[in-house]
């Protein structure tokens, strides 16, 4: 038996192979998942699901299709309207992957999703830590200054490969320094 929550809406969860399963499944607008036989509120059972890379999932062994359903994607599919065919991704507005309520989910384009991820509190904190990190680095700030100076020099004698060997880093590291992806804070 599932306790009713005011304003919560339940919708049946239908997916390939759902008719062959013993139980029926439903999702609520608050992101809750239930299995039931006849009626969600009378014989329903709340399911906690699993966690896959921080996202709540439901692992169902369906005939011919063993697969994982991501709860946030299914809630968005049932309760949120897609803007355009380019809106293929579902983002958590408050950056909390466990909050799968319909009001916290939004369909997004790839570009929207990337911008949203960069604003995540965890990502912002990580960038702050990385910007002030001094231990465990292969290069010092002064070495990076010299590398940048060499890379932008019109009369550069060293190839990227030789420069990478000189500083004991990969060529990719130098390309990332040159593009500003790495060590952007060093001028």
Asked if 109 and 88 count as a contact pair (C-beta separation under 8 A), the reply is yes
Integer Cα distance of 183 and 186 in angstroms: 6
> What residues does 105 pair with on adjacent strands?
92
Residues of the chain with CATH 3.90.75.20: 10-119
According to the 3-state scheme, what is the secondary structure of 97-115? CCCCCHHHEEEECHHHHHH
Residue 142 predicted with pLDDT over 80:
yes
Count Cβ atoms within 10 A of the Cβ of residue 4 and give its class: 0-12 exposed, 13-18 middle, 19 or more buried.
exposed
Integer Cα distance of 31 and 69 in angstroms: 13
Backbone angles phi, psi at 52, to 5 degrees: -130, 115
* Per-residue burial over 17-43, b = 16 or more CB atoms within 10 Å of its CB, e = otherwise: eeeeeeebbbbbbbbbbbbbeeebeee
May I ask the CATH class of domain 10-119?
A: alpha beta
> What residues does 60 pair with on adjacent strands?
67
- The tens digit of pLDDT for each residue in 58-114 reads 988 766 666 789 999 999 999 999 989 999 999 999 999 999 999 999 999 999 999
Whole-number pLDDT of residue 85: 93
Backbone angles phi, psi at 171, to 5 degrees: -65, -35
Report the run of H or E that residue 173 belongs to, with start and end. helix 171-179
Neighbours of 51 (CB within 10 A): 11
pTM, two decimal places: 0.71
When comparing pLDDT for 18 and 6, which is higher?
6
Whole-number pLDDT of residue 66: 67
> What residues does 10 pair with on adjacent strands?
28
- Which residue, 59, 61, 91, 71, is CA-closest to 31? 71
């Amino acid at each position: 038996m599932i306790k009713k929550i005011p304003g919560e809406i339940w919708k049946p969860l239908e997916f390939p192979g759902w008719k062959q399963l013993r139980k029926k499944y439903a999702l609520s607008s608050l992101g809750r998942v239930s299995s039931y036989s006849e009626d969600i509120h009378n014989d329903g059972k709340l399911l906690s699901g699993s966690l896959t890379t921080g996202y709540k999932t439901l692992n169902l062994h369906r005939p011919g299709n063993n697969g994982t359903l991501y709860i946030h994607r299914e809630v968005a599919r049932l309760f949120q309207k897609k803007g355009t065919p380019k809106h293929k991704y579902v983002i958590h507005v408050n950056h909390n992957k466990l909050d799968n309520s319909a009001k916290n989910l939004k369909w997004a384009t790839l570009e929207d999703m990337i911008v949203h991820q960069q604003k995540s509190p965890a990502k912002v904190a990580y960038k702050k830590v990385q910007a002030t990190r001094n231990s465990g680095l292969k290069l010092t700030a002064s070495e990076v200054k010299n590398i940048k100076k060499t890379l932008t020099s019109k009369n550069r004698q060293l190839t990227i490969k030789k420069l990478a060997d000189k500083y004991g880093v990969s060529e990719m590291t130098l390309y990332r320094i040159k593009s500003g992806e790495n060590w952007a804070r060093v001028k």
